[in-house]
Amino acid sequence: MSDHYDVVIIGTSFAASFFLLRYLEHAAPTVKILVLERGNEDTKAWQLANKKTSSIPPEDLYENDNLTKDWLTSPGFGGNSKCWMGGTTRMMPGDFQLKTRYGVGLDWPVSYDDLEPYYCTAETVMSISGPADSPMPRSIPFPLPPHRFSTPDELLKKRFPDGWYGMATSRASVATGKRGVCCATGMCALCPVDAKFTVQNGLAHIYDDPRITLKLRAEVQTLETAAGVVQGVNYLELDRMQRATGDLIVLCASALFNPHILLRSGFDHPLIGRRLHEQLPVYVTLNLKGVKAYDGSTVLSGLGYLFYEGEHRREHAACMIETWNVPFANRPEDCFRFEPGRFRERMMLGFLFDDIPSDDNTVTVSKSNPRLASVHFGDYSDYALRGAKQIPKMIDKLAEALPIEKLLTVSQGPTAAHIQGTVVMGNDPATSVVDRHLVHHKYRNLLVLGASSYPTASPAYPTLTVSALSLWAADNILARSA
């Protein structure tokens, strides 16, 4: 016995929720949609009481053979929107055309212009705060006013007006409906004042739609295929195997679990589970002379695009720089100085480099327990590592704006907390799993949404692009069925 639905959606994070948002606007009043979420509700009150964002621990989700590298994931209603920091940069136009413009990596099968209107919608839905100017073309202003720069950001903006910008973020600069104002304490995974956008505080209402049946604690095991289509979904609900059939299946379980589910289901494209990647993060601390930092109004107060777009991308990775306005979580003791009167004359910067994914970095099915994903990450590409070697030169450039007394530390971080690749998109079925609208090349009633589709990393935070791609994918499906 099984239940039949018009649409079965797996997951409730950004990819699923933005798809649903657009799909529900145009779908028939009689459409039946099943949403399967692996985790629990894990309300905000529960998260604060338990000081974590998910009631499912990582060891119940995946095994990881690289103990120096974390992968951040948060099952439960709203998914990784519970644990993200709220950064919402757009990708730059060149990120979509690395091969054409710079002769390296791969082109994406979508362009910046394709996604621009969808970026606007996603920013509006999430009430993004951002500056009046922008390093990339924009057709509308940000919905909310910008956060306040720190004093070092002000100096950088003055010296590099086209290279330093205010943060684009869902950490609200003014109160918005259910969300308070960001107060720059930097506990953003939990965000005690609920300032950042989450599905729980911003899109939960769409799941109240009578066309939707939402099942929590429903862990999808496999997709069933027959006659060139995905016919059904098998899932464990309270340890009992259940089955639902659907006309359209939308897999939105993240770049860790999208390939895990496809591989368990017998999908055999050689790229499924390959090209796991994210940005290479490097953190720098500087002593300043006579300039005090940490007076911006949000956890990351400025963004540097000086070393992002340009011909250097032929040789090494591009870089987006972020100004940290609170201590690095892993090294709070580095944040301040202890000479009298000079407590805040220190600056912390994050440097995020794009990466060219390797087929050798993988997500597979655990041999010992198939319910676990097995993650293998060897290293970043030489291209990314060559980018990081440019940091001393970059600091010299920043010294044109900042009174840098001493470069104290340069250290690679364990993770940028982004998970990308593993079910990549492209125009050619031989070299990609899904097409430019994130429809599976072979099974045309299957969408695989989220950052798993990313052919390459960009230095930008990935979430806004995930949300825009889901709106784009929904529009395509709606047009197809009109």
Q: Residue from 182, 206, 335, 424 that binds ligand SF4 (CB under 6 A)?
A: 182
Q: How many residues bind ligand SF4 (CB under 6 A)?
A: 15
CB atoms within 10 A of CB 290: 8
In this complex, which beta carbon is closest to ligand SF4, that of residue 83 or of residue 156?
83
In this complex, which beta carbon is closest to ligand SF4, that of residue 188 or of residue 229?
188
Half-sphere exposure of 158 (CA within 13 A, CB side): 11
Is residue 348 at the binding interface for ligand SF4, with CB under 6 A as the rule? no
Tell me how far apart the alpha carbons of residues 137 and 36 are, in angstroms, rounded to a whole number.
37
> Of 193, 199, 76, which Cα lies nearest the Cα of 466?
199
Is residue 48 at the binding interface for ligand SF4, with CB under 6 A as the rule? no
Tell me how far apart the alpha carbons of residues 224 and 150 are, in angstroms, rounded to a whole number.
53
CB atoms within 10 A of CB 476: 16
Q: CB of residue 14 vs ligand SF4: minimum separation in angstroms?
A: 16
Q: Residue from 75, 78, 86, 135 that binds ligand SF4 (CB under 6 A)?
A: 86
| Cross-strand partners of 47 | none
Q: CB of residue 412 vs ligand SF4: minimum separation in angstroms?
A: 23
Is residue 187 at the binding interface for ligand SF4, with CB under 6 A as the rule? yes
C-alpha angle 341-343-347 in degrees, rounded to nearest 5: 130
Tell me how far apart the alpha carbons of residues 13 and 203 are, in angstroms, rounded to a whole number.
10
DSSP-based three-state secondary structure for 363:
strand
Locate 175 and state its tokens.
């109160």
In this complex, which beta carbon is closest to ligand SF4, that of residue 182 or of residue 288?
182
Torsion of CA 153, 155, 160, 164, to 10 degrees: 10
Cβ-Cβ contacts under 8 Å for 265 (sequence gap 6 or more): 222, 223, 224, 225
In this complex, which beta carbon is closest to ligand SF4, that of residue 11 or of residue 86?
86
Q: Which helix (H) or strand (E) holds 7?
A: strand 3-10
Is residue 196 at the binding interface for ligand SF4, with CB under 6 A as the rule? yes
- Going by the DSSP 8-state scheme, the letter that residue 460 receives in this structure is S
> Of 273, 281, 453, 254, which Cα lies nearest the Cα of 360?
273
Is residue 335 at the binding interface for ligand SF4, with CB under 6 A as the rule? no
- Which residues within the stretch 207-266 sit at the binding site for ligand SF4 (CB under 6 A)? none
What binding mask, one character per residue, do residues 291-330 give for ligand SF4 by CB under 6 A, x or -? -------xx-------------------------------
Is residue 185 at the binding interface for ligand SF4, with CB under 6 A as the rule? yes
- Which residues within the stretch 149-178 sit at the binding site for ligand SF4 (CB under 6 A)? 171
Q: CB of residue 85 vs ligand SF4: minimum separation in angstroms?
A: 7
Q: CB of residue 297 vs ligand SF4: minimum separation in angstroms?
A: 9
Residue 359: phi and psi, rounded to 5, are -65, -20
- Which residues within the stretch 410-439 sit at the binding site for ligand SF4 (CB under 6 A)? none
In this complex, which beta carbon is closest to ligand SF4, that of residue 115 or of residue 191?
191
Q: CB of residue 175 vs ligand SF4: minimum separation in angstroms?
A: 12
Q: CB of residue 326 vs ligand SF4: minimum separation in angstroms?
A: 7
In this complex, which beta carbon is closest to ligand SF4, that of residue 28 or of residue 45?
45
In this complex, which beta carbon is closest to ligand SF4, that of residue 93 or of residue 145?
145
Residue 393: phi and psi, rounded to 5, are -65, -40
- Is residue 353 within 8 A of residue 282, CB to CB? The reply is yes
Stretch near ligand SF4 under the rule CB under 6 A, chosen from 142-150, 191-199, 347-355, 440-448: 191-199
Q: Which residues bind ligand SF4 (CB under 6 A)?
A: 86, 171, 182-188, 191, 193, 195-196, 298-299
